[in-house]
Each structure stands twice: as C-alpha cells, then as structure tokens.
Amino acid sequence: MAAAAAVVTPSGLDDGVSRSRGDGAGEVAVERGPGAAYHMFVVMEDLVEKLKLLRYEEELLRKSNLKPPSRHYFALPTNPGEQFYMFCTLAAWLINKAGRPFEQPQEYDDPNATISNILSELRSFGRTADFPPSKLKSGYGEHVCYVLDCLAEEALKYIGFTWKRPSYPVEELEEETVPEDDAELTLNKVDEEFVEEETDNEENFIDLNVLKAQTYRLDMNESAKQEDILESTTDAAEWGLEVERVLPQLKVTIRTDNKDWRIHVDQMHQHKSGIESALKETKGFLDKLHNEISRTLEKIGSREKYINNQLEHLVQEYRAAQAQLSEARERYQQGNGGVTERTRLLSEVTEELEKVKQEMEEKGSSMTDGAPLVKIKQSLTKLKQETVQMDIRIGVVEHTLLQSKLKEKSNMTRDMHATVIPEAAIGSY
C-alpha cells in the first residue's frame, strides 16, 4: 500500500516538492523532497514578518515583558519549556486578534487541554491539523510553525490586511559618458615609453644627446679641417666589429600593452576559431546524447502509463484507507478532547474530596482530644466550689436576717409591755 502512494507524475520525474499541511491534506500524499527539512525555516521567516504586520511587539511583547523571538525561534530546539509557553501565548493572542475570544494560558495550566483548545480553534477556521497533538508539546518544529502561520493569516484576514503591488522608484537616466580609449597607441605615449626606457636602462643604451654633441663637434672640426679629410684612416674590419657590438643596443623595442584593441581583436579571432573547432567535435556528441535522452524519456512515459494503469485499484484503495484514517483521527481528536475535559473535572472533584477529608480529619482530631473534657471537669469543680461558698454566704445572710428579725420582735414586745403598764397604773388611781 505504501508503494502506491508515490504515483509517478506524467511529467516524467517526481518533482520532490513537499506540499504544505494546509493544502491538499485529503489528497494523495506526495513524497517529500530533500528541501522539505528546510521548509519550516521559510515558514518561520514569513511568520515573523506577519507578526510584525500585526504589531505584536507593541501589543504583546511589551505588555507581557517578553523577549522578541529570533527569525528561527520555533524552527530550532533551544528551551522546550520556554518555547512551549511562547507558542501558547502567541497562539492565544493570534486567536483573539482573529476575532475569537480565548483566555490567555497560564504557566501552570494543563498542556494537553491548552493544545486541544488551540487545535479546536484552528479547525473552526477551516484549517486541517492531521498530526497528533503531542507534536506541539515540544514547542518547536514544522507543526508549531504551521499552526502559528495559519493563525497569523486568519488574523490578517480579520483585520482586512491585503498585499499591495510593490511600488518601484523611478530611476533617473544618467547620461552615458564615453570613456576615452586608452588602448590606442599614440605617438605621445610611444615617446613617453621611449623616455622611460632610456631612464631605466641608462647603462644599457647609448645617450643620443651625447652622440649628437659629438657628431656636431666632429662636423665643426671637419668643416674647419676639410683639407684633412681626404681619406678614411679607419679599418673596415674594426668598423664592422664595432657595428656588430653596438647593434643590439641600437634596437628600439615597443612594449605590448594588453589594453590595445588590436590585441583584443586578435584574441577574439583566436577564441572564435577555437570555439568553432570545438563545436564541430562536440556537436555530434550532443546530438547523440539528445537522441538517447529523447528515447529514454519516451520509454519512461510509456512505463509511467503502464504503472499507473496497473496500480489504479491500489491507488483507489489507498485513498479510501486514507479517508478512513482521517475520520478515525478526527474521532480520536474528539475523544481526546472529551478525555481532557473529564480529566479536568476529575482533578476538580479530587481537590474537593481532599478538602472534605482534611475537614473530617480536623473534626475527628478535635473529637478525640481530651483537653476540652479536662477543661469541663475543671470548670465543674470550680462551679461546685463557688456554689459551696455561695451557700455559706446565703446561710450567713439568713442567720443575720433571722437575728435582726428576732431582735426587732423583742424590741416590739418590749415596747408593747412598756405602753401597757402605764395605762394600768392610771386606771388604779
């Protein structure tokens, strides 16, 4: 079944281009080329530019006191914990920028729940995510770059951003100045070279001015002594030897300048003749190679058609299996989201149960403790003592009251006897 996935295209060879995860996710997967490993670096650079368009430095980084990520921050592993926190923060901010309410994740939140919420928001935008959520836990990689890039595109769509045509500045045409051709050989230049050669090689060349002066003096002497010059006294052999000795020094050599246009023309003619001769030899080999490549391409095309016809039913089966796999993954994602929600509820119930257990332990410890009972006994003893004292005081008060009553009664009887006796005495009289 895996061999049927790499169906040969009619173009002749596999192009090796890796499709993005957002385009053609339901189609037949194309084999990834050698440059797919570096595709996430390109996506990351595009993501940084989109975040700059969304002004994330002013609206997110400065408010949250975060450092701006580098151009390849989510493409290379540096610090997984920090990268995952930055990924969740950026994803939440982009979802809010796209017009969907999303709470900013905290540092101690459940990562599975956070990833599940981010992927559900991504699918609500119509984007596909056919990869396991555990790929996002590391905080880096192509899946992280893909999710953030999709959210950034949705945020740009929501704010109404559109790419405009680039405006190129109008360049002013400068007047072309024809440079002077220094390659031409002028008489002044030849004279200057002659002077330089004379100054550089004074020891090897004869001074012409000295020769002119000597010849001038000789002419004057000859004119003054014409009568003496009637016949030459110089030996012809010696003269010939002197001429042969001086002749190499009398030669005038002109240095060849590489800037001379004549030399350039000669070189062009030489290169042209060389190219023509080489072309005659290689043209036959190229024609033969062209014919062989054409025949090979024809064979490849026929083999492609044959293979496609033979593997047609396998390709259909693979597509059906791929569709079933995508449906199973979708159900798995939904079930995983439900499990995450129930896990969160279980954690809340567990926390409440721990609180109830703690309260029960506190009440049980307070019930089994004998200190309150001791305090109650001490209080009862104290109350009894105070009751006895109060009884004593009440008895003393009652005794005092009884004495006062008896005393008052005795006083009253005494007063009554005192009043009755005088009346009896008066009657007797």
At residue 187, the pLDDT reads: 45
SS (H, E, C) 108-129: CCCHHHHHHHHHHHHHHCCCCC
User: Mean pLDDT of all residues in the chain?
Assistant: 76
Record the tokens describing residue 291, joined without a space: 């014919």
Record the tokens describing residue 153, joined without a space: 């595109």
Instruction: Identify which has the larger pLDDT, 220 or 92.
Output: 92
The DSSP call for residue 102 is: -
Overall average pLDDT of the 368-378 stretch: 80
What's this model's pTM, rounded to 2 decimal places?
Answer: 0.35
At residue 32, the pLDDT reads: 61
**Predicted confidence (pLDDT) per residue in 380-390, tens digit:** 999 999 999 99
Look at residue 16 and tell me whether its pLDDT is greater than 50.
no
Look at residue 119 and tell me whether its pLDDT is greater than 50.
yes
Task: Tell me if 303 sits within 8 A of 7, measured CB to CB.
Answer: no
Q: Nearest-CA neighbor of 144 among 80, 57, 52, 193?
A: 80
**Predicted confidence (pLDDT) per residue in 309-363, tens digit:** 888 888 899 999 999 999 999 999 888 888 888 999 999 999 999 999 998 888 8
Record the tokens describing residue 253, joined without a space: 């050599």
- DSSP letters, 179-228, are ---TTS--HHHHHHHHHHHHHHTTTTS--HHHHHHHHHHHHHHHHHTTTT
Helix ranges (DSSP H) in 311-370? 312-368
At residue 38, the pLDDT reads: 78
At residue 29, the pLDDT reads: 38
At residue 123, the pLDDT reads: 87
Task: Tell me if 39 sits within 8 A of 142, measured CB to CB.
Answer: yes
Where are the extended beta strands (E) located within 168-285?
Answer: none
3-state secondary structure of 270: helix
What region does 16 belong to: left with phi over 0, alpha with psi -120 to 50, or beta?
left
Task: Identify which of 5-14, 221-230, 349-358 has the greatest average pLDDT.
Answer: 349-358
At residue 112, the pLDDT reads: 85
> In the structure, what pLDDT confidence band is assigned to residue 255 with cuts at 50, 70 and 90?
low
- CA separation for the pair 8, 20 (Å, rounded): 20
Task: Tell me if 15 sits within 8 A of 33, measured CB to CB.
Answer: yes
Task: Tell me if 161 sits within 8 A of 35, measured CB to CB.
Answer: no
Task: Tell me if 44 sits within 8 A of 72, measured CB to CB.
Answer: yes
- CA separation for the pair 252, 242 (Å, rounded): 18
> In the structure, what pLDDT confidence band is assigned to residue 171 with cuts at 50, 70 and 90?
low
Residues listed for the chain: 429
